[in-house]
């Protein structure tokens, strides 16, 4: 069994992969100050002598986990972007490219093998839109994450303690919560759709548009042009595990 690990800026996800199938999925939110919580999250996997495959955008957390794996003499691999260089445009700074962004593209290769042009919208701590044309990763944009954008506002407003960002048909609100709800959902929708239209016009392409990440599901709820892939990063890690290791 292989433990697939996706280390983001504020959360860590893991999924057990056995005989090509995903088993249990788990995640934790974390802070860099509480490293013991991270180690505890993997303690059972350590004891079971599993093998591990890591995709990370946080080097210090990667080092923490691999240090513990080495201490226990466990097998592990970390995504090597150089293995994937042939599918990355030579203008892209591969050293600065987050491993998760190219791994997300790998997650599409099996299910969408006949499609060559993608926009991948990933709603994480930051929201990223990545561009793939003719099966080559060209780059993308990084936007403030939806929760990150509104977190300080929500925390500072005493009447919004239970506010939740979610799908809405409201165009505007007649109270503070609904005004914030319509503003957050519709404002973010317009921003994402604006980028999509700009890319389609600039490249003169009709892209296959794939959405992933926590808040992604609410933006695909009533959409006929956006497809949601919950396990996209894990699918990419599975593809990497089967084809590059």
Q: What is the pLDDT of residue 160?
A: 67
157-196 pLDDT, tens digit per residue, is 666 666 788 999 999 999 888 998 999 899 999 999 999 9
Q: Does residue 220 have a pLDDT over 90?
A: yes
Q: What is the pLDDT of residue 156?
A: 66
Domain ranges in the chain? 2-78, 81-146+177-243
Asked if 227 is an active-site residue, the reply is: no
- Residue 164 to residue 6: CA distance in whole angstroms: 25
Q: Does residue 60 have a pLDDT over 90?
A: yes
Topology of domain 81-146+177-243 in CATH is Nucleotidyltransferase; domain 5 (3.30.420)
Residue 154: exposed, middle, or buried by beta-carbon count in 10 A (0-12, 13-18, 19+)?
middle
Please determine whether the domains at 2-78 and 81-146+177-243 fall in the same fold group of CATH: yes
Q: What percent of the chain has pLDDT over 70?
A: 96
Q: What is the pLDDT of residue 157?
A: 65
122-154 pLDDT, tens digit per residue, is 998 899 999 999 999 999 999 988 888 877 777
Q: Which residue has the higher pLDDT, 146 or 37?
A: 37
- Residue 155 to residue 152: CA distance in whole angstroms: 5
Which range is most confident: 39-43, 46-50, 179-183?
Answer: 39-43
Q: What is the pLDDT of residue 195?
A: 97
Task: Average the pLDDT over 66-73 and give the result.
Answer: 95
Q: Does residue 120 have a pLDDT over 90?
A: yes
In a 13 Å sphere around the CA of 72, the CA atoms on its Cβ side amount to 20
Q: Does residue 221 have a pLDDT over 90?
A: no
Question: 127 in helix, strand or coil?
Answer: strand
Confidence category of residue 222, pLDDT binned at 50, 70, 90: confident
In the set 100, 117, 122, 130, the catalytic residue is: 100
Closest CA to 98 of 115, 122, 81, 114: 81
Q: What is the pLDDT of residue 52?
A: 98
Task: Average the pLDDT over 34-41 and give the result.
Answer: 95
Q: What is the CATH number of domain 2-78?
A: 3.30.420.40
Q: What is the pLDDT of residue 159?
A: 61
């Amino acid at each position: 069994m292989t433990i697939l690990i996706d280390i983001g800026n504020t959360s860590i996800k893991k999924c057990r992969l056995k005989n090509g199938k995903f088993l249990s999925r788990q995640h934790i939110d974390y802070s860099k100050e509480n490293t013991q919580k991270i180690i505890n999250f993997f303690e059972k996997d350590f004891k079971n002598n599993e093998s591990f495959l890591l995709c990370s955008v946080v080097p210090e957390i990667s080092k923490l986990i691999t240090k513990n794996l080495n201490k226990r003499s466990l097998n592990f691999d970390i995504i090597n972007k150089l293995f994937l260089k042939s599918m990355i445009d030579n203008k892209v700074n591969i050293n600065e490219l987050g491993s998760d962004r190219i791994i997300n593209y790998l997650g599409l290769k099996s299910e969408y093998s006949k499609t060559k042009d993608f926009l991948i919208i990933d709603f994480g701590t930051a929201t990223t839109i990545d561009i793939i044309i003719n099966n080559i990763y060209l780059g993308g944009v990084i936007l403030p994450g939806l929760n990150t954008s509104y977190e300080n506002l929500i925390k500072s407003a005493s009447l919004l303690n239970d506010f939740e960002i979610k799908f809405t048909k409201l165009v505007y609100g007649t109270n503070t919560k609904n005004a914030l709800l319509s503003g957050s959902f519709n404002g973010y929708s317009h921003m994402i759709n604006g980028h999509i239209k700009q890319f389609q016009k600039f490249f003169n392409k009709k892209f296959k548009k794939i959405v992933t990440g926590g808040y992604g599901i609410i933006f695909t709820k009533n959409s006929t042009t956006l497809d949601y892939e919950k396990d996209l990063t894990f699918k990419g890690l599975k593809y990497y595990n089967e084809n590059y290791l």
